Structures are given as C-alpha cells and as structure tokens.
Amino acid sequence: MINIKKSIKGIYLKLKYGVRVSSSDKVILINIEENKFNRYLFPFVHMISSNGYKPILLLNFSQLAHLSYDKYQKMIFDRGLLFVTVKNMNIVKTINLSPDYFNALNNDSLRDSIIPMPMHPSIYSKGITIKNIIQNNKNIFFAGTTIGGVYNKRQVFEGIISRFEVLDYIKTFKNSINVKSKNQFERLDLDKEKSYYMIYERHNFNFTQEELFIELTNNSFFLALPGTLMPLCHNIIEAMYCRAIPILQDVYAHMFPISLKDGVNCLIFKDFEELSNISKQIDQMTINDIENMQNNVINYYKDYLSESAITNKILTEGMEKFYLQAEGHSVTLYNN
C-alpha cells in the first residue's frame, strides 16, 4: 500500500514538475544505485544543467516521490530540473552514480571517478555569488556549528582531530578571538600584518550565507575543520570558491580526489604541535606570498570543483561510473 501511494505521488510530481527535453538538447542519463545522496544530489544535477546539458534521473515513480521527502533533493523540483525522457532524445552519455565515496577514495584506480563535494545546496539554489574580494590581511577565519555533541564524536577515519578539539585548543592562543556578538564584530580593528584566529561559533554569532561569503572574501585564510563522523564538510569548498586559503589536517587534505598540497593551495598540520606553528608561518609570509597561494586556490577550484570541471569529468570518454558523497550513508558503506 505504501509503495502504491508513493507511486501515485511520483506520477503527480512528474506531471507537475516534469520538463520535457527537445530533440536538440544534449541529454545525460543518470542511473542511481541508491538514492541516499540527500544533500548533494541537487548540486550535482544543477552543475550539469548549468553547463548546457539536460540531466535525467532514471527513477521509477516511487523513487521520484522520495525526492520530495528531502528538503535538498526537493530543490530539483523547485528549480525546474526534473527533466523527463522523450522519444528520439539526443543522449550524449549514460552514467551510473554510486554513494560508495570513501571506498572509491581508498582505491587509486577509482579516484578519477569521484565527484568532489560541492558547496551547500542553498548556494546553488539561490544563485549566491561572490562580489568584492578584499583579502589583504593575514586573518584565519572559522564559522560554523560547534555544539550538539556530533562534532566531538570520534571520527571514523584514523588520525582525524575533531572540530571541537581543534577549536578548544585554538581558543588558548593569544591571537585567538572568539566573536560572540554583533557589537564585538563591528568594533574589530586588527593589525593587518599579524594573523588572528577569528572564531564565529553559530550559537554565539551566525552569518547568513550571503554574509558568510562576504567574510570569506574579507579573510585570507580559512580554518577547515572536520564535519560529523568524517573530515569532509561543504564549508571548505565555499572558502576555496571565495579564494580563502584552507588550513586543514593532513588526512583531510587527502580526502580530495586530487589532494591539496601544503604551501601551494593550503597549509597543512598533522597534530597540535604543527597547528600551533601555523600562525607563525603566516606572520612570516608577505602579502605577495599570500596572493600567490590564493591564485593557486582559485585555480584548483576552477580545475576540479567548479560546475564546468564536474561536467567535463563525467563527459570523459570511457568513464561511466561515478561516486558522489552521501554523508552518513557513504560512511556506513566504508565501515562495512
């Protein structure tokens, strides 16, 4: 009975939101092994569409109804991206999408088939972009959730220091500023020749996504801390889009299909001792040194993380199966 109800809802959703492709449209068919991508399916579909292709999810009516139960997958309907099949389609490619992201990451022969984590879905949905970049300081910026217990849990990947532990340690630094109010934020007047850890914990001071982009473009460095259970978190992609240089642990840097490189497009630490030396390293850098690294960051973003980079990856001849991050489900597959 439940499946029948889901199928009826799926039919309704297809009739209401379905967008028929034309014979001249370049179509990419997408088979999905398990639709547990939740947050990151919509950005994937959006990226393909924004590059002039029509991505069609090959889902039955029951699976189609499942899209409407997730607030992020629902964006596929809201943004007019539910493309449907027609006769005589111009099919450019058919691909298979798997959530087994971390097992693929550990297999060198599959790393090229990994779809990197995107920014938060709302950024693509709202069309939020950066405006002015004024990164003429040495500040190290962090903003995000730090309470609720999930960020203090043991990571499933060996050697990762949790978000809570890193922040707890950094708060002991003399150059650490934990901003707790708008008044404190507005009164900040810092020496641009010195590095400061600027910490904005969401329960104390929260930015809208638009405000967050402004701050990312106003600070030269971004403290990229682990997400829940796994190192990956969408905020590092957003920071790199804004040309902020990520500071992250070595294990995290290698979670990218193409690893980030210390001193080239990021600053890497292995443990607390190395972390304590990061700000000293930044203080010794010139503005020109920082600008060179920022250029490397944005080049990495354009080459591997942008909409066009992702689309070009899936169009690569001979590659048919790709691995998209599915958060907790990808972790479960890795543990099994």
Q: What is the CATH number of the domain that holds 172?
A: 3.40.50.2000
Instruction: Enter the DSSP assignment of 301.
Output: I
Residue 205 and residue 225 share a domain: yes
What pLDDT was estimated at residue 102?
93
CB-based burial, 190-212: b 16+ in 10 Å, e otherwise: eeeeebbbbbbbeeebebeeeeb
- Give the 3-state secondary structure of residue 197: strand
Q: Which stretches in the chain have pLDDT values below 50?
A: none
Residue 287 and residue 203 share a domain: yes
Residue 330 and residue 283 share a domain: no
What pLDDT was estimated at residue 151?
58
Helices (H) and strands (E) in the chain, counts: 16, 13
pTM, entire model: 0.94
Residue 40 and residue 183 share a domain: no
Residue 106 and residue 158 share a domain: no
Residue recorded with tokens 């005589």: 88
pLDDT digits (tens, 9 = 90+) for 126-185: 998 887 777 778 999 999 888 765 555 566 678 889 888 999 999 999 999 999 988 898
What pLDDT was estimated at residue 27?
98
Q: Please count the structural domains in the chain.
A: 2
Residue 266 and residue 146 share a domain: yes
The residue range of the domain holding 107 is 2-121+309-335
- Give the 3-state secondary structure of residue 87: coil
Residue 216 and residue 278 share a domain: yes
Alpha carbon distance 105, 114 (integer Å)? 7
